[in-house]
Amino acid sequence: MSFSINAAFDSGNIRLIGITGDRVDLEIVKDHQSDFYQWFYFRVAGAAGRRLTFRILNAGGSAYPFGWPGYRTRASTDRKAWHTVDTRYADGVLEFDWPGGAAAGDAATSDGQIVWFAYFAPYTMEQHADLVARIAARPGVRHRELGTSLDGQAIDCFDIGTGPKSVWLYARQHPGESMAEWWMEGALDWLTSAAAAPLLEAATVHVVPNMNPDGTRRGHLRTNAAGVNLNREWHAPTPERSPEVLCVRNAMDETGVNFAMDVHGDEAIAANFIAGFEGVPSWTERRGNLFVEFGQRLAAHTPDFQTALGYEKSQPGRANLSMSTNQLAERFGAVSVTLEMPFKDHDANPDPAFAWSPERSAKLGVSCLEVLSEMIGDL
């Protein structure tokens, strides 16, 4: 029986190069008008009972090839449970296997006729629409459409709470970092529960679950429909290049910002960590100490966070103000945080079957807000 490869769906990305027996050669498609690529998501029909080997031939030229060593591809036969499968990287080629049925430990049997593979468990625009509908219907939630993307998609925002402090949570500036919207799902479920009452009395929380709907639908790694990296637009966003950033930043100008969290995924570091705003001209020791305290409290709160690994800090006065975390710290005097989650696993407490997963991403969203609730009075 023959099999077929297809990525012509919401968030899909792959190009078939050739099939030789049970070996499939592929390439990841670049973001539109950009050289960035790394995100892949495709399905294989007719896979039942076949052991297949897939080779992504252009992996070595991807945006972050140093992220491939130690990485494990995600696979699913139901698009709900995303297990890891054996993956190797050598000589610029990423290679992974489908064992002929169940991905490691999956309850699915070899009778499964279709299997999906992805860089990380996808969070598509259809899933986003379901999330928006579900959260908007809950008591106390105010929904706004802040603007539209270059492709005309809505930039959705939820306003929750009545407190005087202003908190902004936003995710998926880089659309291939799908764990960021899984984090948002956990955060929004918590924010609409009774547990959030103390935080919502102290603060109004503004949530933008997806900053880059065009890149999400198109299957991009890092850019919008114009090939623009939104997290380099915050100093001077324009309607022509980055309307997504412009409408969000305009809304922030109306409310001010006391605390902000920009949610991302990191290709190389096998851990959850935060990055801050050390190099902004307006940096103060008080705000710096609050940033450090947030990380320390989060590490004490959950084993799925740590503070030993992370990015190199900017030197004083050398922060890149085109990046949102730095721009918001400088513009509003905010305690501004970038959260990074891994495409690999959180190696301090790894999961061999699932690695870092949607479920763990959602739980980390809850943990972050529980810590913020404890600290909101000091911000």
- Residues serving a catalytic function are 340
DSSP one-letter string for 227-250: S--GGG-TTS--TTT-HHHHHHHH
DSSP bridge pairs for 170: 208, 262
Which token pair is 2? Answer: 């023959």
Nearest-angstrom CA–CA distance, 68 and 50: 25
Token pair 């919401």 in the structure block, residue: 10
**How far apart, in Å, do the first and last CA atoms of the chain sit?**
62
Q: 349: exposed, middle or buried (C-beta count within 10 Å: 0-12, 13-18, 19+)?
A: exposed
Q: How far is CA 351 from the centre of its chain?
A: 19
Angle between helices 358-375 and 179-191 (to 10 degrees): 50
Q: What radius of gyration, in Å, describes the C-alpha atoms of the chain?
A: 21
Which token pair is 158? Answer: 């939820």
Nearest-angstrom CA–CA distance, 176 and 119: 8
On whether the CB atoms of residues 73 and 120 are closer than 8 A, the answer is no
Q: How far is CA 108 from the centre of its chain?
A: 27
Which token pair is 348? Answer: 């301090």
**CA of 77: how far to CAs of 42, 110, 113, 179, in Å?**
12, 10, 8, 19
Going by C-alpha positions, the residue among 218, 10, 208 that lies closest to residue 124 is 10
Length of the chain: 379
Proportion of the chain in helix, strand, coil states, percent, rounded to 5: 30, 25, 45
Phi, psi dihedral angles at 230 (to 5 degrees)? -60, -30
